[in-house]
Amino acid sequence: MNSIHIQPFPFPSSSPCSSKSIMKKKKKSMKKNLRSSAVTLPRFSKWAQQDLISRLPDDILHIILSKLPIRDAAVTTSVSKRWAPLFPTLPYLKIDAASFNPRDSEMNRRYRRVHVEDANDWIDTLFYVLGTHQVPVERFEIAVEILDYCELDFYEVFDELCDSGVKELVIKNFYFRVLYDIPLPVFSCETIVKLEMSYCRLEVPSNLTGLRAVKFLVLTYVSVSNGHLRRLISWCKAMEKLVVTYCFKVTNIVIHAPNLSELEISVCRPVGISLKNYPRLASVAVSFGFDNDYWRKYLLSKERKESGGTNEATKLVTFLNGLCGVKDLRLNFSFEYRLILSKERIPLPTRLSPKCFLVELKKLCLSWPNHYHFFNTIVSCLLNSSPYLMELIICVDTSYDSIFCPTALALDFWYKQVPAECVKNHLTSATFYWADYILEDSFDFPRFLLLNAGTLKKMNIFYSGELKEESETAEIIKNELLTVQMASPNVEMTIQPIISRNRYISSFWIS
């Protein structure tokens, strides 16, 4: 028997007496707690007079101090003899502009603690903290806007950190207009395991000697050429996770990483992604979130004409052809990306080449602005090329339809499709999320799965809580889907409204 669960929208009850009864219960429980606390407090009064936190081991206290702003952590040296040696032996240092600004600094109040007030005093304090530190710093994170202005001073800082054996290094440049050049000592460091860089200029030296131990590499808003990025990735042989977010200048990302298991890429312009050597790659997430203004310029740009005739559809297929060993795949397509694809003349194939089938893929998450015909083609291609897919998640954002009219759809697209192997014999879970409002063709694909998925056990339908009345929307979904002759006799269907669509979609992207 098929079962359906319609979960109510989590609004507080509108009953006139419900709020009063709740308040009465709260008052009673508060009085009861006060009476019980008045009785039990003397029993534990001797413990209240003791400093139990100071009895914790050093490694626990170090973790506590690492969560505090560095200026507050430094003050603990004057608390007691027990706390005095903790800050100088703290293995983690997280520094920002406010760390060494005066507490009553006008910069702190006006710019929310982003800008350094006096660069010379700030640098002197940083040198003092590092000079009086009694142990090597294992994790160093700095986020300021004077990296370029005080380039020589920071060269000494990073040189000292790398020589002392730093394991985690996070460099965040907050002066977005001027990119910071990564200093050479970073490239020669042999102990870094985690490296994060943002708003910088990355030029990898040809005689690279360090970074062999890097397992986690994050590049955010970094200016780097194709050759330098490829050299860095291929050099980091131990790398297990790579995150590339909105990097400039690069037009083709080539991955040579024998130990890479997790890959996340977000692009704001047309970029090719090519996977060459990745035997352990299990999770891939790519967001094609093109900038709203950039794509218009790109369509008429010399850059597009000089791309050798390679269009976005070809780039996408080339990327998909390299994912045969991936188990978890997440793809996010922006509205602007669809507009670029609509200008291309080469269509997507109905399936990938058999030698490029995604034979290991178990979970697929797709997010796009609407049920456009092109994205239906992507879903069909991926289903036909993923014989053992078990979990499918579809997020559809219909908010753009209030501004742009969608292209004409063949509403019988899914009725003409032959069910893929995974749909008939392996798919067990399907989740759909519809933002803003439900379109006419929103039910076509869920209905197709119910008709053909013989092993389907669960289907989740989530919709925006702002859609009409909750009961009315749930009834529409129920009438559209529960009247289908289901291929699987034991499908459990859940229909549930969602309060925050952005949070819900991001949960798919992050998980």
If we measure between CA atoms, which residue out of 136, 157, 137, 135 comes closest to residue 146?
157
CB-based contact 100:124 (threshold 8 Å): no
Q: Over the Cα atoms of the chain, what is R_g?
A: 28
Give per-residue pLDDT as tens, 446-492.
888 998 899 999 999 888 765 455 567 778 888 888 888 888 888 89
Please write the tens of the pLDDT for every residue from 49-106: 566 777 788 888 888 888 877 877 787 777 777 777 888 888 899 988 888 887 766 5
CA distance 81 to 78: 8
> Does residue 504 have a pLDDT over 90?
no
> pLDDT by residue (tens digit) across 386-426?
999 999 998 877 555 444 444 444 556 777 777 888 888 99
296 pLDDT exceeds 70?
A: no
Question: Is residue 304 classed as helix, strand or coil in its secondary structure?
Answer: helix
**CA nearest 75: which of 103, 108, 56?**
103
CA-to-CA distance for 207 and 220, rounded, in angstroms?
A: 24
Which of 232, 207, 212 has its CA nearest to residue 222? 232
pLDDT at 6 over 90: no
pLDDT at 283: 96
Sorting pLDDT into bands at 50, 70 and 90, what band is 161?
very high
Phi-psi label, residue 246: left if phi above 0, alpha if psi -120 to 50, beta otherwise: left
104, 71 Cβ separation under 8 angstroms: no
CA distance 271 to 133: 44
The pLDDT of residue 404 is 44
Higher pLDDT, 407 or 25: 25
Is residue 8 very low, low, confident or very high in pLDDT (cuts 50, 70, 90)? very low
pLDDT digits 0-9 by tens, 134-143: 899 999 999 8
pTM for the model stands at: 0.81
pLDDT of residue 511: 41
Closest CA to 144 of 119, 166, 109: 119
pLDDT greater than 70 at residue 510:
no
State CA 335 to chain mean position distance: 19
3-class secondary structure, 417? coil
**What residue has token string 């490694």?**
59
Specify the amino acid at residue 101.
N
pLDDT tens per residue across span 330-367: 999 887 777 777 666 667 788 999 999 999 999 999 98
Close Cβ partners of 252 (under 8 Å, ≥ 6 residues apart): 226, 271, 272, 273, 274
pLDDT average, residue stretch 115-119:
84
pLDDT at 402: 43
Q: What is the mean pLDDT of residues 231-235?
A: 94
Q: What pLDDT, on a 0 to 100 scale, did the predictor assign at position 372? A: 58
pLDDT band with cut points at 50, 70 and 90 for residue 323: very high
Q: What is the pLDDT of residue 365?
A: 94
Q: What is the pLDDT of residue 33?
A: 52
